[in-house]
Chains A and B, each alone.
Chain A
Amino acid sequence: MGGNDSVKETPAQQALAQHANNLMSDYQMRWAPVQQRMIEVTNKMGAPDSGVREAAAGRAGADVEAQFGQAGQKLAAGLSSTGAGVGSSKGKLAMGGLSLDKAAAKGQNIAISDQAVTHAYMQGLSSIAAMGRGERAQVDTGLADQAGMSARQAAVDADISLQNRMGNAQVAGQAAGLGYSAAKKPSGGEQPPAGINGGTYLPNSMRGQNNYR
């Protein structure tokens, strides 16, 4: 090496780096806007008096109204069947009690629905944060990759060197073996080259595009 201690990158390393660069570009172009949108929607949902909170409160209130509306009709029918009409003292207090129960149910139902929105908001933030932790983990791995690149390259070089050295010794035996198998093989019928897993290789970032069948 003549004092030059820099490690030359292999074509495979350069291709992998280019591939990583392509993946990042693809992510920035297609997925980063989606994630930004998710963050905006989640933040909007969690805001006080947000549309989601109001809708949840409306639904909670409507559910209670529907249930107690039926209960009110049944109560009126029950009062009539016992001879005590809704105009009787018993009937008025029963209707009043039902109205109070409805208010209690509505207040608690709306409170719980509001807390459920807060819960969903925090879950949304947690999901986004989990994506961020993945990215941070990749950063850590990337730093380790860089730190370890030279060491790995040295190991690869040593391995290649070893294979070359050992290969010289094996060439004679392999040549003999190939000659034997060629002699046994029928003529014609050239075998197709084996692809990766017998199919077309796609990087992970491209699999999702047509893999939902």
Chain B
Amino acid sequence: MGFASNTYAALTRQQWADYVSTYVPIENKLIGFATDATQPAKAMAAASQNVQNAFAAQEGDFQRKMQGLGVSLTADEQAAQQRAAGLSKSLADVQAQNVAQSQTRNLQYGLMGSPAPDATKQATQSGV
């Protein structure tokens, strides 16, 4: 083996070692995400939690706003507001979960070779 052969052999070994130590863990992360069947459910749960948090904050926010204006809800108005809140929260929750599921699946398919999903388009289509 001459100088050139030895040099190329050493470079090849070094490149392979770099690839295994640096890039294989990254590839494994991508493969893990793309093939994890629980990812859509995890994204749905996270989206649902975001909606629940927003509505929990809204309740106090609305109460403070009413107090700031010096008005209060009657019993009938409170009941109407609670019914509307329940309906609105359920709709928002379902919609957020649907979008999260769809986007996560599209991302998984994209990583596996399909075209990458357009998050903005998804959001627009979902009416957000």
A167: Cβ under 8 A from any B Cβ:
no
- State whether A100 touches B85 (Cβ < 8 A): yes
Q: A91-106: contact bitstring with B at CB < 8 Å (1 yes, 0 no)? A: 0110111011111111
Residue in contact with A102 in the complex, picked from B51, B58, B73, CB distance below 8 Å: B58
Residue in contact with B50 in the complex, picked from A17, A114, A145, CB distance below 8 Å: A114
Interface residues of B in 24-40 (CB under 8 A from A): 24, 26-27, 29-30, 33
Q: In whole angstroms, how far apart are the Cα atoms of A139 and B20 in the complex? A: 12
- State whether B54 touches A132 (Cβ < 8 A): no
Classify chain B's interface size. 35 or more
Q: In whole angstroms, how far apart are the Cα atoms of A122 and B106 in the complex? A: 12
A174: Cβ under 8 A from any B Cβ:
no
Q: Which residues of A contact B46 (CB under 8 A)?
A: 111, 114
- State whether A86 touches B11 (Cβ < 8 A): no
- State whether B23 touches A129 (Cβ < 8 A): yes
A50: Cβ under 8 A from any B Cβ:
no
Min Cβ gap B31→A in Å is: 10
Q: List 12 A-B contacts (CB under 8 A).
A: A17-B3, A17-B5, A21-B11, A24-B11, A87-B69, A96-B80, A96-B85, A103-B58, A108-B51, A116-B119, A122-B33, A139-B19
Partner-B contacts on A (CB < 8 A): 8-9, 13-14, 16-18, 20-21, 24, 32, 35-36, 39, 57, 86-87, 89, 92-93, 95-97, 99-112, 114-116, 118-119, 122-123, 125-126, 128-129, 131-133, 135-136, 138-139, 142-143, 145-146, 149
Q: In whole angstroms, how far apart are the Cα atoms of A133 and B26 in the complex? A: 11
Residue in contact with A122 in the complex, picked from B30, B51, B54, B70, CB distance below 8 Å: B30
Q: Which residues of A contact B85 (CB under 8 A)?
A: 96, 100
Residue in contact with B71 in the complex, picked from A8, A86, A146, CB distance below 8 Å: A86
Q: Which residues of A contact B126 (CB under 8 A)?
A: 108
Min Cβ gap A195→B in Å is: 26
Interface pairs A-B: 7 shortest CB-CB: A132-B23, A107-B51, A107-B54, A103-B58, A104-B92, A17-B4, A111-B47
- State whether A125 touches B30 (Cβ < 8 A): yes
Closest to B15 in A: A139
Min Cβ gap A31→B in Å is: 11
Q: B101-128: contact bitstring with A at CB < 8 Å (1 yes, 0 no)? A: 0011001000100001101001100101
Interface residues of B in 48-65 (CB under 8 A from A): 50-55, 57-58, 61-62, 65
Q: In whole angstroms, how far apart are the Cα atoms of A126 and B66 in the complex? A: 49
